[in-house]
Amino acid sequence: MNATKYIIEFSYLVASILFILGLKGMSHPESAKRGMHLAELGMLMAVVGTLLHHEIISYEWIIAGLLIGSTIGAAMAVWVPMTAMPQRTALSHAFGAFAAALVGVAEYYRQGAGMGQFKLTAIGFEVMLGALTTTGSLLAFAKLQGLVRGTPLTYRGQNVFNMALLAATIGCFVYLLIFPTSAPVFYTMLGLAFVFGLMLVMPIGAADMPVVMSLLNSYAGLAAAATGFALSNNVLIIAGTLDGFSGFILSILMCRAMNRSMTNVLFGAFGSAATAQGGAGEQGTMREVGLEDVAVQLAYANQVIFVPGYGMATAQAQHIVRELADILEKRGVSVKYAIHPVAGRMPGHMNVLLAEANVPYSSLYELEQINPEFSSTDVAVVIGANDVVNPDARDNPQSPIAGMPILEVDRARSVVVLKRGKGKGFAGIENPLFFKPVTGMLYGDAKESLTKLVQAVQHA
Ligand code: NAP
């Protein structure tokens, strides 16, 4: 090995260590920012190391790519709002996976059958996973952005058709391993994988998309690892494997927090009319409460728990929640935030928003920590949350969300629900919490209601 090669391998080793430390940092909200910076540094090391490679003939195209990519990345980071983060991530996965698929195609085009069985296997995986992740992620992006209908698109025999498509794609792959020169089969496999990506995501509802995306992320990671094997590139193998497995673990954790199986997410068409059956129907009338009443309740409470959900994210109400909490705390009220693992539309959604509003991490409580506290809480304020506080998950075995762990706000002495109207949550089912005697509904956009509450509490 000459000196440059040593330097490249060393930079890859450092990059891999930084990626691992970065992942470790991201496992806790307090160290997440540091973890992100370590991972960024790792990526810089990997890019710089790669640029030293002796096989690079000309730097012009690379520089052009770097400039275009960095401009797009920076623009997305600055302008994409926090609520659109899931679709932004989907787009990034699509780009990454497409790059992996293109590398695979280029390698096959350049070397064809001459590349040997091992490399061909790696390329086959890379192209298959890369292609299906590209179209799957693009469709996920379109659903989340509302460019196509977010509801599951289903038809009879869908699962059988999808399985047949997958079998045909894998069939091409196996054929190719036996007859490596068969370029038409290679390109058929590529085409089928593109179609399979679309078919895989079609029956999945927009709200299940975060689970699917983290699964697609895992596929993109494995495609990158396969690219690493194809190109004999260590950092790609390590980073791809880390990406692949962390994405997979995250998907499992999300499913667990919803008490759903991966098969149910992938094939259950959750959110379609058929799955919305089984929830509780209308259960009496909802009691509307006035702003002044709520302000007095809050101002004279000993303990208040804020329960944020998807509605807080859409209303961008996190800053005003913090303002209200500050005012209450100055009056001697103990304020806590209850964080459900799948509140919102992506893992850690509430943590990110509340951190953005500088809510101290010590005020955030996880489900297991906060549930025992509700019974000794004067007011639980539900801010645009619905499914994660639905007592049916605990009380009604027939409910589509039966068994999903919930924040037991109904055990509080008083519950105030901030929502715009009678809109359902992501599961599309009725919520008996809204009909309970302890519950008062404060209708309106969460940000507007909270702004008015801030003023009313100051005068209470
Ligand atoms: P949710 O069940 O989707 O309910 C959100 C509620 O917010 C709605 O009932 C809506 O009612 C209200 N809302 C919307 N915009 C509002 C606004 N501007 N102001 C006030 N209220 C507003 O939310 P959640 O309780 O956070 O539950 C999350 C759901 O997503 C769970 O079912 C979870 O399984 C699912 N999910 C989450 C993830 C994740 O990673 N976080 C992943 C996959 C699935 P109105 O229309 O009446 O206002």
- pLDDT confidence bin for 269, thresholds 50/70/90: low
Query: Does any ligand 1 atom lie closer than 6 A to the CB of residue 409?
Result: no
- The pair of structure tokens assigned to 256 is 């667990």
Query: Does any ligand 1 atom lie closer than 6 A to the CB of residue 353?
Result: no
pLDDT value, residue 371: 97
Among residues 208, 243, 387, 392, the one annotated as catalytic is 387
Residue nearest atom 22 of ligand 1, based on CA coordinates = 311
Dist. CA 263 → ligand 1 center (Å): 23
Active-site annotation holds for 387: yes
Partner residues linked to 383 by β-bridges: 308, 418
Nearest by Cα to 231 from 411, 25, 8, 43: 8
- pLDDT confidence bin for 151, thresholds 50/70/90: confident
| Average pLDDT for 227-237 | 88
Dist. CA 387 → ligand 1 center (Å): 7
- pLDDT confidence bin for 267, thresholds 50/70/90: confident
| Residues 6 or more apart in contact with residue 426 via CB below 8 angstroms | 207, 271, 310, 345, 386, 387
Query: Does any ligand 1 atom lie closer than 6 A to the CB of residue 347?
Result: yes
pLDDT value, residue 104: 92
Query: Does any ligand 1 atom lie closer than 6 A to the CB of residue 150?
Result: no
Query: Does any ligand 1 atom lie closer than 6 A to the CB of residue 208?
Result: yes
| Average pLDDT for 362-371 | 94
Q: Which ligand 1 atom is the nearest neighbour of the CA of 344? A: 26
pLDDT digits (tens, 9 = 90+) for 154-194: 888 888 999 999 999 999 999 999 998 899 999 999 999 99
pLDDT value, residue 282: 59
Scored b (16 or more CB within 10 A) or e, 400-437 reads bbeebbbbbbbbbbbbbbbbeeeeebbbbbbbbbbbbe
Which residue among 82, 270, 389, 419 has the greatest number of ligand 1 atoms within 8 angstroms of its CB, and so is best to mutate? 419
Would the pLDDT of 83 be above 90?
no
- pLDDT confidence bin for 382, thresholds 50/70/90: very high
Give me the residue label for tokens 């790059």.
99
Dist. CA 343 → ligand 1 center (Å): 7
- pLDDT confidence bin for 283, thresholds 50/70/90: low
Q: Which amino acid is at 442?
A: L
Q: Which ligand 1 atom is the nearest neighbour of the CA of 310? A: 26
Query: Does any ligand 1 atom lie closer than 6 A to the CB of residue 442?
Result: no
**Whole-structure pTM value:** 0.79
pLDDT digits (tens, 9 = 90+) for 312-354: 999 999 999 999 999 999 999 999 999 998 899 877 889 988 9
Q: How far apart are CA 69 and CA 365, in angstroms?
A: 39
Three-state secondary structure of the chain: CCHHHHHHHHHHHHHHHHHHHHHHHCCCHHHHHHHHHHHHHHHHHHHHHHHCCCCCCCCHHHHHHHHHHHHHHHHHHHHCCHHHHHHHHHHHHHHHHHHHHHHHHHHHHHHHHHHCHHHHHHHHHHHHHHHHHHHHHHHHHHHHCCCCCCCCCCCCCHHHHHHHHHHHHHHHHHHHHHCCCCHHHHHHHHHHHHHHHHHHHCCCCHHHHHHHHHHHHHHHHHHHHHHHHHHCCHHHHHHHHHHHHHHHHHHHHHHHHCCCCHHHHHHCCCCCHHHHCCCCCCCCCCCECCHHHHHHHHHCCCEEEEEECHHHHHHCCHHHHHHHHHHHHHCCCEEEEEECCCCCCCCCHHHHHHHHCCCCHHHEEEHHHHHHHHHHCCEEEEECCCHHHCCHHHHCCCCCCCCCCCCCHHHCCEEEEEECCCCCCCCCCCCHHHHCCCEEEEECCHHHHHHHHHHHHHCC
Least confident residue range of 84-93, 306-315, 409-418: 84-93
Which residue among 288, 386, 401 has the greatest number of ligand 1 atoms within 8 angstroms of its CB, and so is best to mutate? 386
pLDDT value, residue 330: 95
pLDDT value, residue 268: 65
